[in-house]
Structure formats: C-alpha cells, structure tokens
A and B are shown apart, each in its own frame.
Chain A
Amino acid sequence: MSARLESGHGAERSYGLARRWRSLTGTGETELVPQTRLAGPMPWVIAIMVALTAIALAAGLSLRNTVTSAQAELHGGLTVQIVEAGEQARKDQAAAVVARLREMGGVVSYRLIPDAEVNALIEPWLGTDVEDGESEGGAGAVPVPALIDVQLDRAVSEARLSTIRSALAQVAPSARVDAQSSWLEPVFDAIESLQWLSIALVVLLAIALTAAVLLAARTALGAARDTIEIVHLLGGTDRQIARVFQRSTGVDAAAGSGVGFALALVVILFLARRFAGLGAGMVDNGALRWTDWLALALVPVFATVLAMVTARLTVLHTLRKML
C-alpha cells in the first residue's frame, strides 16, 4: 500500500515538473487530447514505406541515367560493314566508303577498324585463325567483314540513314549501314518499362502510406472521442484538435521517415558498390548524381508532410460530423 502511495506521489511529482516545463515553453495545447501517437506500429510502417519508396526511386533514377548516358554515347553513331568474301574486293570497297564519307556533309569522324582489332573482337567466339584459312586458301576460312565506325553531327533519322545507304551503295555494293542506337532499342524499351514500374511503385507506396495514416488517425480519433467531445463542449475548435493530431503524426512520421531513409541509404550504397564491381560501362553510367541524391533526400520530407496533411484532413473531416 505504501509502495503504491509512493509510486502515486512519484507520478504526481513528475507530472508537476512537466506542468512547470509547459509553463516555461508554452506548449499546453498539446495536452488537449491524449498524446498516444497514432498507433504503436505507425512509425515502423512509415519507415518501411519510406525505405521502399527511396529504393524504388533510386532504381528508377539509376535506370534513367543509364539510358540517358547510353543514348548520348550512341547519338549520331553509324556502323558500316563491308560484307564481302573476297579480301581484295572488301578492302577496295572499304577504301571507297572511306573516300565517300570524307566528301559527305554532316560526318564528324570516321574510322576504319583495323583487322587486328576486329579479330580481337571476335576471338572469343571464332578463335585466332579466322583469316589464316583464307590467306592460305584453306576451306575452313571465315571471312570477316570490314568495319567502319562513323560519327555524324546529329541524331540518325530514318531518312538520313536511307540517304547515306544509297550514297554508299553506289561505291560499295556490299556495304551494310546500321545506326548504333537501333541495336540497343529493345534494351532501352525494356529499361523504360522498368522506369515506369519504379514510378508506379513510388505512387502506390504514397497511396499506401496515405491509407495507413488515414486508418491510424481514425483509430486514434475513435479512442479519444470522449476527450474530443469534452474539448468541443468547452469551446475547443476543430482546428485546435486537428493541430494536436497533426503534430503528433508529424513526430511519428519524421521518426519513421528518418529510420526508413537510413535503411534505404544502406541498401542503395551496398547495391551501388556491388554494381560498380561489375566494371560494365553501361552499369557504371547509372551512378546517381547529386540531383538524384537531393530527390532521394526529399522522400522522407515528402512522406512526413503527406502524413501530416492526411492526418489533419482526416481529423477535420471526422470532426465535421460531430456537433
């Protein structure tokens, strides 16, 4: 019994200290309704949402960077292949194409790929003696096309590609002209789909966060209904009550967002390191820029603001039904 009394007096003493603190800081309004937070797991739900959103956004931004960078590299690029079995004829046509390109307007640069470089490219598939057979007249020889890498001053349109094909066909009937970007078009399409998927994920997660806060706010309102009714009867306004819930939600959301963002950072940095280790040029180009990091940093801020606005509107909407 005496222990209970002591415990009761201890609680009153700490409450007295809290009252004096409020008197100093002027924060009494927060006491209008119970400060029970929206619900126990709410900050963790927000943390998970924010982590998933940040990761999805980082993936989307990285994919965008990959595509943008690859498209910039392939912008205006052409490859001319001289597919001719006879070596001399192949060389003659290649020389003719080079001469024709030199005269052609809009060509920034061109380069006849040396045979050694071409052989090195196909070596993993065909071995080292692809030219030997032909030079010795062997039956197993594999004719390798001559390659010319061309860079135009602007993007390659279908019309321009057609004009170049016609011009080169006049001097080199065996020439095949392809825009470099067209080879990767299916890859770009696939990456674009993934980008849309990441955007959809971000939107869905924002909707899920809103729904979670809405449900939690309604539950908290239901639990505090008696108190709210008393505050109403004493002349409390809907805005005063909504402000208290909004503030409480803001604290929950900020804490949850902070934890979620930290978690997302760990995952993003870990994945970035793993992909960087691949050493593949296209993947390297997907590295996040400072503007991307800024966008990611806005995710927890946006989540907190979204949660606060949702809580406020939910509370105001519910209170409007009370007299």
Chain B
Amino acid sequence: MNQPADGEIAHFDNVGLRYGTDREVLSDLSFTLFPGSFYFLTGASGAGKTSLLKLLYLAQRPSRGIIRMFGSDAITLPRDKLPLMRRRVGVVFQDFRLVPHLSAFDNVALPLRVGGIGERELARPVADMLDWVGLADRMDARPATLSGGEQQRVAIARAVIARPDILIADEPTGNVDPDMAVKLLRLFEALNGLGTTVVVATHDVHLLKKVPDSMIMRLDKGRLSDPTGALRFPPRRTTTREPVR
C-alpha cells in the first residue's frame, strides 16, 4: 500500500463530535499521527477514547473540524472510496465484534476476503496468524465456543492479518492474562517495527511502561492533553523502514 504523500497517517484539526443534540463528547481535537509511531491513548472511562477511535477507523463522521486520513479528506471522501481507506486500518474492537456464524479461521480471513485475496492464497497466512496467537487448534471453532481471551486473540489476529498502515486497538489486553498481554504487545511492537502506526487505547498504566518509545495521548472529558509532547512536537521516532507487505 502507498504511504501518505505528506508523511502523515491521520491529521485532526479542531475536530468535535456530538451524538444528536447532546453536548460534545470530543472537543477541539487537533493532532497528527505519523507513520511508524506507537501511541497510547489513555483516559478515564467515559473520557471519549472509543469515540476518538471511531473517528480514526472511519465508523463515525465528526460534527465539526477536519480529518485527513492518508493524505485525503476523510469527511468529504465519496462513500464508495471509504472501503479502500478502511482496508488500510486494522481495528481491535473493545467488544471484539467477531462474526458469530464464522469460525475463528473465517473471522481472521475476513479482511483478506474483502480485499479480494483468493482462498488458496489466504489459507497459509491465516493459519500462521492463528498459530501465532495460540489458537492453531481452535481454527474451526465458532466465537460462541471460545473464551473471552480466545475471542480477543482472534480479534487481534483479524486486525493485523492484512498488515494495515495503522492498527487501532481498543483495550486489547483487557481480557487476557499478563503473559498473553505482553505477548500481544510484542506483536504490536513487531508490526510497528515494520512501519505500522499503532494506537492502543488503554487505562492500564503498567502497559504504558512496556513500550518505551511510545507516545501518550491523554483524553480528559473529551479534550486531549499531551504528556509526552507527541502532539506539540515532531514525533520522537518516525520510521525510515519500508513497510513489509
């Protein structure tokens, strides 16, 4: 996939979001996400983390402001162009959102199938990915028969299988044991090392220390603060590595 022409994954300018006629849940958000960076998004429950992520993975349009994704205006983008942009975004949903009638294998294969990858080509990478998250023996199990942790691992495998330009994870370690949490974080780091921008929403402060090069964006009542200077200053690490596809 192409990297953004102007060297940014996402750019928010004075973005606000309100649902219906309620007060704004997000206000005056202005920041830029750069290629190859690792961001933690923190904040108390109800601070607006999930709403901000929804804007990032193009599930929601803002009430005001400008959002540029991969160099294109995501707000005025024609509807038929959205799928291509969404394929460059990997998402781990807080509630996993696995497709209940599909097996673990088919759930993980879903992004490849919508991307037009043939059945023969996708079998090996999907099996490898499930093996990596420790679910090689549950490939044919449906989500209802998997534990919470197993479902979360399937969700993560699905989010990263297509090697997205940006990976967005909403509380990805919430349902796994500490060992698996570290293992998943290492997977995110490995992807980040390949050039994928990673945004992890979490309220687990211990997790923040485990990725030393990460930048922290803190949401407080819908407004962003910037304890690491990620928003005010150029990123401390921008990748010079070509993303591996």
Binding site for B on A (CB under 8 A): 8, 11-13, 15-16, 19, 22-29, 31-32, 34, 226-227, 230-238, 240, 320, 323
Nearest A residue to B115, CB-CB: A235
| Chain A residues near B142 (CB-CB < 8 A) | 11, 15
Residue in A23, A227, A236, A240 whose CB lies within 8 Å of B119: A23
Given A22-B119, A235-B87, A32–B103 Cβ distance below 8 Å? no
| B97, CB-defined interface residue at 8 Å | yes
Binding site for A on B (CB under 8 A): 57-61, 79-80, 82-87, 91, 97, 99-103, 105-106, 109-111, 113-115, 118-120, 122-123, 139-142, 145, 158
Q: How far is the CB of A93 from chain B (nearest CB, A)?
A: 86
Given A234-B87, A235-B114, A323-B61, A28–B101 Cβ distance below 8 Å? no
CA distance A28 to B110 in the complex (A): 9
Decide: B101 and A34 in contact? CB cutoff 8 A.
Answer: yes
CA distance A238 to B114 in the complex (A): 11
| Chain A residues near B79 (CB-CB < 8 A) | 320, 323
Residue in B57, B109, B145 whose CB lies within 8 Å of A28: B109
Nearest B residue to A13, CB-CB: B140
Residue in A29, A235, A240 whose CB lies within 8 Å of B111: A235
Decide: B140 and A26 in contact? CB cutoff 8 A.
Answer: no
Decide: B103 and A227 in contact? CB cutoff 8 A.
Answer: no
Decide: A233 and B91 in contact? CB cutoff 8 A.
Answer: yes
Would you call the interface of chain A mostly helix, strand, loop, or mixed?
Answer: helix
| Chain B residues near A227 (CB-CB < 8 A) | 99-101
CA distance A13 to B139 in the complex (A): 10
CA distance A313 to B83 in the complex (A): 19
Decide: A32 and B115 in contact? CB cutoff 8 A.
Answer: no
Given A28-B109, A236-B114, A320-B79, A19–B140 Cβ distance below 8 Å? yes
Given A27-B119, A233-B57, A234-B110, A16–B140 Cβ distance below 8 Å? yes
Q: How far is the CB of B7 from chain A (nearest CB, A)?
A: 23
Decide: A231 and B114 in contact? CB cutoff 8 A.
Answer: yes
Decide: B120 and A323 in contact? CB cutoff 8 A.
Answer: no
Q: How far is the CB of A17 from chain B (nearest CB, A)?
A: 9
| Chain A residues near B118 (CB-CB < 8 A) | 26
Question: Mind listing 7 A-B residue pairs with CB under 8 Å?
Answer: A12-B140, A19-B106, A23-B123, A28-B122, A31-B102, A232-B86, A236-B83
Given A29-B113, A323-B59, A15–B140 Cβ distance below 8 Å? yes
Decide: B120 and A237 in contact? CB cutoff 8 A.
Answer: no
Decide: A15 and B103 in contact? CB cutoff 8 A.
Answer: yes
CA distance A249 to B97 in the complex (A): 26
Decide: A237 and B83 in contact? CB cutoff 8 A.
Answer: yes
Nearest A residue to B97, CB-CB: A230
CA distance A323 to B145 in the complex (A): 31
Decide: A32 and B119 in contact? CB cutoff 8 A.
Answer: no
The interface centre, meaning the residue of B59, B61, B79, B110 with most chain A CB atoms within 10 A of its CB, is: B110
CA distance A22 to B112 in the complex (A): 14
CA distance A16 to B101 in the complex (A): 14
| Chain B residues near A233 (CB-CB < 8 A) | 57-59, 86, 91
CA distance A77 to B60 in the complex (A): 79
CA distance A72 to B118 in the complex (A): 63
Decide: A240 and B114 in contact? CB cutoff 8 A.
Answer: yes
**Beyond A25-B119, A34-B101, 9 additional pairs, beta carbon < 8 A:** A8-B141, A12-B103, A12-B141, A15-B142, A26-B119, A233-B86, A233-B91, A235-B111, A323-B58
Nearest B residue to A35, CB-CB: B101
Q: How far is the CB of B147 from chain A (nearest CB, A)?
A: 13
Decide: A235 and B106 in contact? CB cutoff 8 A.
Answer: no
| Chain A residues near B141 (CB-CB < 8 A) | 8, 12
Decide: B86 and A234 in contact? CB cutoff 8 A.
Answer: yes
